[in-house]
Amino acid sequence: MHTDATPVDIDTGNRATPSPLLTEQDLKSAAARLTGRVLKTPLLPCEELSLAFGCQVLLKAENLQHTGSFKVRGATNALLARGERGERPSHAVTFSAGNHGAALAYASRRLGVPATVFVPPGAVATKIDAIRRHGATVIEGEDFVAAAQRFAERNGALLLHPFDDLDVIGGQGTVGLEVWQALPWVDVLLAPVGGGGLLSGIGAAFAALSPSTRVVGVEPAAARALAHAVESGGPVSLPTAPTSMADGLNAPFAGTHTYHHVLHHTHQLVQVSEEEIRLAWIDLMRATRLILEPSAAVGLAALRTGEVAVPAGGVVVLVLSGGNTDLASLGAASRAV
């Protein structure tokens, strides 16, 4: 059954201009920094989904990216950009449910910067293993966001925010730049939303290069930080902790930068239920033969609700944000179908 959460339509043409918003040049600069450091992931056609929805459905396969998610783009761009500005950190620290932590560990190791990642209790084991494998120190705890902030202050380290950082958003925006370079005409693009870094970067890219493309963010109803921010008039913490099976989207709050980017560059936010995510996750893997995490399936879940307008015969892109899933969880989800 579909969630009762109401989609949020965003009026992108009637907002006071905040400062700053990323420009086309910011994204091109990020792409230049990342050349040879991240993969240009494929835009894959999916015949099964195209037939089901009566349009051309393509999949931006960021699950095939280094560390298994788009996050490595933002972390790498942020460290390189700071180096260009003479701000190369002696130590990098962050808080993360897993993917951003692994991305920072990967980027930091290649740039010779020690990294420490604070994670919440119960984080997906495969993601924690990846952080350690890429050379970062992992510290687990309930108050992991505040603990990361305290660590950074005590040690003079760079606290690299998982999503509310313009250099991080710029790196994530190269996903949108690559989609546009491969396919200049896209009717609708759907991106998963946690704190909003990916959606913000993609939105900035399409606002500059293809403003007629309808950019849609998709959140779990159990983790709707950006919709809550839009409804509240600013980024505030969710009243209850996010609990979605799409653990990569369990941001407890939106950021200031992501809030403003979404107001300007996103046309709609849609929420999907846990059951919709679970079914879409299994079906998407069956249709694509790709290993995906639940976060990557929310776009398909949103298409199935009928709340996203798709022109007959049009072009729809789903961003598959990552593939770092726990195989035990995958087995449990499959048995429940």
Taking only the tens place, the pLDDT of each residue in 134-187 is 999 999 988 999 999 999 999 999 999 999 999 999 999 999 999 999 998 999
Q: Report helix, strand or coil for 35.
A: coil
Provide, rounded to the nearest whole percent, the portion of the chain with pLDDT above 70: 92
Residue 1 domain flag: no
232 located within any domain: yes
Rounded-to-integer distance, Cα 59 and Cα 319, Å: 6
**Domain closes at, from 143, 159, 175:** 159
Query: How many domains does the structure of the chain reveal?
Result: 2
The CATH number of residue 92's host domain is: 3.40.50.1100
CB-based contact 192:299 (threshold 8 Å): yes
Amino acid at 235: P
- 232 and 88 belong to one structural domain: no
Containing H/E element for 335? helix 327-335
Q: Could you tell me if 197 and 267 lie in one domain?
A: yes
Query: Are 105 and 224 contained in the same domain?
Result: no
Is there a single domain that holds both residue 280 and residue 206?
yes
Q: Does one domain contain both 284 and 206?
A: yes
Q: Based on the domain organization, do 279 and 318 belong to the same domain?
A: yes
CA distance 19 to 261: 10
Q: Is residue 260 part of a domain?
A: yes
Q: What is the pLDDT of residues 42-62, one digit of tens each?
A: 999 999 999 999 999 999 999
Work out the mean pLDDT of the chain and round it to a whole number.
93
Same domain as 327, residue 215: yes
At residue 8, the pLDDT reads 73
Backbone angles phi, psi at 262, to 5 degrees: -65, -40
Do the domain assignments include residue 3? no
Number of helices and strands (H, E) in the chain?
A: 13, 11
Distance CA 105, CA 114 (A): 8
Band (pLDDT 50/70/90 cuts) for residue 222 is: very high
Domain that holds residue 327: 8-69+165-335
Residues 45 and 105 occupy one common structural domain:
no
Instruction: Classify residue 63 by its DSSP letter.
Output: G
Can you give the pTM of this predicted structure?
0.93
For the beta sheet containing 315-320, the strands, ordered from the edge strand earlier in sequence to the opposite edge, are 8-9, 268-272, 214-220, 188-192, 315-320, 56-61, 43-45
3-state secondary structure of 325: coil
Same domain? 210 vs 326: yes
Beta bridge partners of 288: none
Are 53 and 172 in the same domain?
yes
233 and 317 assigned to the same domain: yes
Q: Is the domain of 65 the same as that of 76?
A: no
Classify residue 2: in a domain, yes or no: no
Element (H, E) at 268: strand 268-272
Asked if residue 16 has pLDDT above 70, the reply is no
Residues 200 and 228 sit within 8 Å (Cβ to Cβ): no
- Name the domain boundary from 122, 139, 159: 159
Among residues 159, 181, 201, the one where a domain terminates is: 159
